[in-house]
Amino acid sequence: MALISASRRLRRTPFSDGVEAAGVKGYTVYNHMLLPTVFASVQEDYRHLKDHVQVWDVACERQIEVRGPDAARLMQMLTPRDLRGMLAGQCYYLPIVDETGGMLNDPVAVKLSEDRYWISIADSDLLFWVKGIAYGYRLDVLVDEPDVSPLGVQGPKADDLMARVFGEAVRKVKFFRFGHFDFQGRDMVIARSGYSKQGGFEIYVEGGDIGMPLWNALFEAGRDLGVRAGCPNLIERIEGGLLSYGNDMTRDNTPHEAGLGRFCSTQVAIGCVGRDALLRVAKEGPVKQIRPIAIHGDAVAPCDRSWPVVADGKTVGQVTSAAWSPDFGTNVAIGMVKMTHWDAGTEVVVTTPDGPRRATVQENFWI
Ligand code: THG
């Protein structure tokens, strides 16, 4: 592929200098910001992530801050997930839907206090929707994008690395919870979360000026742990079934089609925009849904457009993410498959750019 030209619109991050010094080889654009995709190679990065510890520049997971007396009311307007039990100190993975029940984003919400949240967004301009709702309903709330940049620390040695920089107490942070920790006199929100299934943390770095000092401290502390710069890994996230908004689901899909029905309690999500539409589709159930798919044969090409899933000469779905998995010895893929063909064990054909491939719908993701 040709290069993508740098400009002010394609935002750098507080960690970009470190990413470049570490020899980044590829980027994607996410929320109008640079997101590294490869350092050594996607397969080498994958092996290292599963065996060691990596530091990830995921500043592109931008925050929408919602603050004020109506913050909780606005949050519940955005999602069919039941937020009544959400406590300060918790993180929730949220489907966000429009008035038709179409997915607008699938962020992680961080409840900082009763009247203050961060919405850590996937790749869509959700800020405009949230500002529009706040304005249209005359809510007493401030909505903006603060100078907060998540830094991921992912992999089996993440606890050891984090304990060296932030102290032993960081090990006690539970999954999808966060605590406050000090770094050089600055308060940092640190959650046990991240876009991998290898375990780890996300540090919400407030203020771009402290980005490189923190980056450098993590690399110095982790030298003997073999710490490397890394990034969300295509192979590992498909194995783990972590969805990518814009790839695996879009505004054309309901949360139920995206397999996120377990995060919806639409009946009790009073005030949720799109609630009526979702109650209708939840009653009937989806007619197509996200499935793990094993594509047989050797490594497939990069999946940069949807690949038809065919059975008996008819299109019954599409593959939206795919990669060769060294650990499972097959191409792992995520697709959306019609009800008639979504049962585990169903044999289908995936039309890749290099020709048709035999494939099998799987019962579960690989990890
Ligand atoms: N962390 C933070 N912000 C993010 C992401 C992240 N914003 C963009 C993107 N990732 C949003 N998408 C996801 C997708 C999956 C998960 C988190 C964000 C995830 N899912 C777990 C799973 O499916 O196993 C856990 C879900 C749960 O049980 O609550 O972690 O990664 N800050």
Query: Helix (H) and strand (E) counts for the chain?
Result: 8, 21
**Exposed/middle/buried for 325, CB within 10 Å: 0-12, 13-18, 19+?**
buried
CA–CA distance, 246 with 259 (Å, rounded to integer): 15
CA distance linking residue 128 with residue 37, whole number of Å = 27
Minimum-distance ligand 1 atom for the alpha carbon of 204: 32
Query: Residue 21 contacts by C-beta under 8 Å, 6 or more apart in sequence?
Result: none
- pLDDT tier at 329, thresholds 50, 70, 90: very high
Output the CATH code of domain 63-130: 3.30.70.1400
Question: Of 169, 126, 166, whose CA–CA distance to 145 is shortest?
Answer: 126
How far away, in angstroms, is 194 Cα from ligand 1 center? 6
For range 69-96, the mean pLDDT: 98
185: left (phi over 0), alpha (psi -120 to 50) or beta: left
Query: Would you list the domain boundaries of the chain?
Result: 16-61+147-238, 63-130, 287-367
Rounded to whole angstroms, the Cα distance separating 347 from 256 reads 23
Fold category of 287-367 in CATH: Elongation Factor Tu (Ef-tu); domain 3 (2.40.30)
Contact between 194 and 152 under an 8 Å Cβ cutoff? The reply is yes
> For residue 344, what pLDDT is reported?
98
> Token pair of 317, please?
């779905």
**Residue 228 forms beta bridges with which residues?**
54
* Residue 16 predicted with pLDDT over 90: yes
Mutation pick for ligand 1 pocket among 13, 111, 193 (CB with most ligand atoms within 8 Å): 193
Question: Which atom of ligand 1 lies at the shortest distance from residue 243's CA?
Answer: 14
Residue 7's contacts (CB-CB under 8 Å, 6 or more residues apart) are: none
Q: Is 263 in the pocket of ligand 1 (CB under 6 A)?
A: no
- Cα of 59 from ligand 1 centre, angstroms: 14
For residue 120, report the distance from its CA to the centre of ligand 1, in Å: 9
Give residues with Cβ within 8 angstroms of 331, minimum separation 6: 294, 295, 296, 297, 299, 300, 322, 323, 324, 325, 357
Using the atom order of ligand 1, give the atom closest to the CA of residue 241: 23
pLDDT over 90 for what percent of the chain?
99
Residue 367 has pLDDT above 90, yes or no: no
Which region holds residue 328: left if phi is over 0, alpha if psi is between -120 and 50, else beta? alpha
For the CA of 232, the nearest atom of ligand 1: 31
| pLDDT at site 140 | 99
Whether the CB of 150 sits within 6 Å of ligand 1 = yes
CA of 122 to the centre of ligand 1 (A): 9
Q: Ligand 1 centre and the CA of 176: distance in Å?
A: 9
Q: Given this model, what pLDDT does residue 122 score?
A: 99
355: β partners: 352
Backbone angles phi, psi at 19, to 5 degrees: -60, -45
- pTM exceeds 0.95 for this model: yes
Q: 16-61+147-238 maps to which CATH number? A: 3.30.1360.120
User: Is 108 touching ligand 1 by the criterion CB < 6 Å?
Assistant: yes
- Residues 360/347, Cβ–Cβ less than 8 Å: yes
Per-residue pLDDT band at 82 (split at 50, 70, 90) = very high
Q: Distance between CA 61 and CA 150 in Å, rounded? A: 7
Cβ atoms within 10 A of the Cβ of 25, count? 12
Does 123 contact ligand 1 (Cβ within 6 A)?
Answer: no
Ligand 1 and 193: CB distance under 6 A = yes
Q: What average pLDDT does the segment 124-139 reach?
A: 98
Nearest to 78 by CA among 55, 106, 47: 106
Structure tokens at 319: 């593959």
Percentage of the chain modeled with pLDDT above 70:
100
